Chains A and B, each alone.
Chain A
Amino acid sequence: MTAPENPAPRIDSSVPHSARVWNWALGGKDHFEADERLGQHLERHYPQAINVARASRTFLRAVVTHLAAEQGVRQFLDIGTGLPTADNTHEVAQRVAPDSRIVYVDNDPLVLVHARALLTTHPEGATDYVEADVRDPDTVLEQAARTLDFDRPVALMLLSMLGHIVPDEAALLVREYTKRLPSGSFLATCDSIAAPEMIKLNEDYAASGAVPYHCRTEEQLAATAEGLEILPPGVVPLNEWRTETPGEFTYQWGLLARKP
């Protein structure tokens, strides 16, 4: 008779949870009452701001397609990936290049369970999943090396997740990653910009019991790419990034940078 194993992490669905609120905002179906209530509250009070999730997803599609199709990138390290939804990183990349290799990193066991079950690679490529904290680059990079070759360019993706860390710390942390990536690698990042409405929204968000989220200025966003070349059009609202036809205004800004 073997002894029972350690209990699994518990799911607390009574407080809102960032990955599930985000899923609600994207029109997904993997959220509970508390997440939906908070989402609806934010939508009522900040109708201008609730589109950040959709804007971020549109940016992901655009930036991954650009990297795979125009820049020839075949390796992606996606940290803070969130719950699977439509057009996940590996799907967008493998649509262009089926042999793309993607590592998804998240510190939330629930996100990882869903990712392992639903983010299925194309047979010619690979996907892997790492349970680790973005604040621990040693572990993240060591685990990612099971699937990615760090002698060849890697696209590091930090989309709408650095807000869990205060801006100055986040910039230093990103540098810990980019200084270890080979020349020709990329950084794609986007986040909520410190406009009054967005700051108010995040105060409400934190008051709900969810883990607080910090907005940042354009300069603080640019600081994450220190030592890299920020590619045109620069640090811009996501609805204006490399498009002829800007979509609806959004408080989510972002950039794509290349390591020389």
Chain B
Amino acid sequence: MAEQFDPHVLGRRGMSRARSGATSALRLLAADLRARRVASGVSIAVAAEKLDVHPTTIRRLEAAKHTFKPATVAHLLRVYGAAEPEVEDVLARLADANTPGWWHEYRDLLTAEQAERLDFESSASLIRGYAPGLVPDLLQTGDYTRALLAAQYPGEDRDRLGRRAELADRRKREAFDRERPLRYWCLIEHAALHRVVGGPEVMRGQLDHLNAIAADAASHIKVQVMPLTTQPHPMLASGAVEIVRFDHRYLADRLVVRGLHQSAATITDDIDAVRAFNRAMDSACLAAPRPTTAIPSPLTRGGER
């Protein structure tokens, strides 16, 4: 599927990365094709015969490792007994999946790893995050983001910084203001709120924002803040991570470990790695106050009220 991508954004492949290249939307579609085949009782061999292709082609299609041609997809769906309106529905989704994501216009600002994270986010149903040092991107106020960007990109001109802030803002809207909003469950170390970003005003606004989320029972965002007084928990040995979950049964969870440079960042769907982090996250979340708890003000000067 590499031809789908802008080579500047997604051309590089690091050694440590379990990447298969296809976008999340295409992976979901491939998982859906597999589920439909299984449900209809058609074997890979029979599907291949009906399509007059090698069985490997069907396997590659179901792993999103083969280009989806609309005619092929339609033919397969009919073999699996799908009604015409369903076929049209899937073809519309295929067309959508082949349309560049909303972040495409910002690709000059993004590393391949950042673009891949946005791609996951666009199709994910749930993300569990751990934030040891900073407020996570999706929960930052605009002021906090701008202060952080200025520190992270000291040489950048105002125009590019402005577009980065715009991208960050758009990203929150795309995640939480869509038809099926992303569920975001995040564990933040209270230590991260002691770190003053942008000054006391900015930190007050940031804390108010997090408290507003905590007070809203119907929010799809759930934040647990780990007090500094809690006994050491397993996540302390980790940096910032996210576990990304897609709704589809055949699409595995993915672990995203952030790095300062994209060669130091990991994205993997290795089940042992995902389980180890899920277990550690569970242990840590068990030790933290529940998501509706008001967040205590940090003691640093920046957070004083």
Contact = CB atoms under 8 A, between A and B. Distances in A.
Contact of A29 (B185, B229, B245): B245
A110 B217 contact: no
Nearest to B216: A123
A7 B283 CA distance: 10
A260 to B, nearest CB: 35
A123 B230 CA distance: 32
Please report whether the interface of chain A is mostly helix, strand, loop or mixed according to DSSP: loop
A117 B230 contact: no
B273 interface: no
Interface stretch (A9-17, A73-81, A205-213): A9-17
B290 A121 contact: no
Contacts of A27: 249
Given A4-B230, A13-B279, A30-B278, A120 B287 contact: no
A118 B286 contact: no
Interface string A121-162: 111001100000000000000000000000000000000000
Interface string B215-242: 0011110101001011101000000000
Nearest to B278: A30
A120 B218 contact: yes
Contact of B185 (A4, A7, A109, A117): A117
B291 A4 contact: no
B228 to A, nearest CB: 9
Interface residues of A, number: 27
B185 A120 contact: no
Contacts of B283: 8, 10-11
Given A10-B283, A32-B275, A121 B217 contact: yes
Interface in B188-215: none
Nearest to A125: B218
B156 interface: no
B183 interface: yes
A117 B129 CA distance: 12
A233 to B, nearest CB: 28
B113 interface: no
A231 interface: no
Interface string B231-261: 1010000000000010001001100000000
A3 B229 contact: yes
Interface string B72-88: 00000000000000000
B218 A123 contact: yes
Given A8-B286, A11-B286, A113-B286, A122 B279 contact: no
B218 A121 contact: yes
A116 B224 CA distance: 11
A30 to B, nearest CB: 7
Contacts of A29: 245, 252-253
A33 interface: yes
Given A11-B279, A11-B286, A4 B183 contact: no
Nearest to A4: B231
Given A32-B279, A121-B217, 19 more contacts: A2-B229, A4-B229, A4-B230, A5-B227, A5-B231, A7-B231, A7-B287, A11-B279, A29-B245, A110-B282, A116-B292, A117-B222, A117-B291, A118-B126, A118-B185, A118-B222, A120-B222, A126-B217, A127-B217
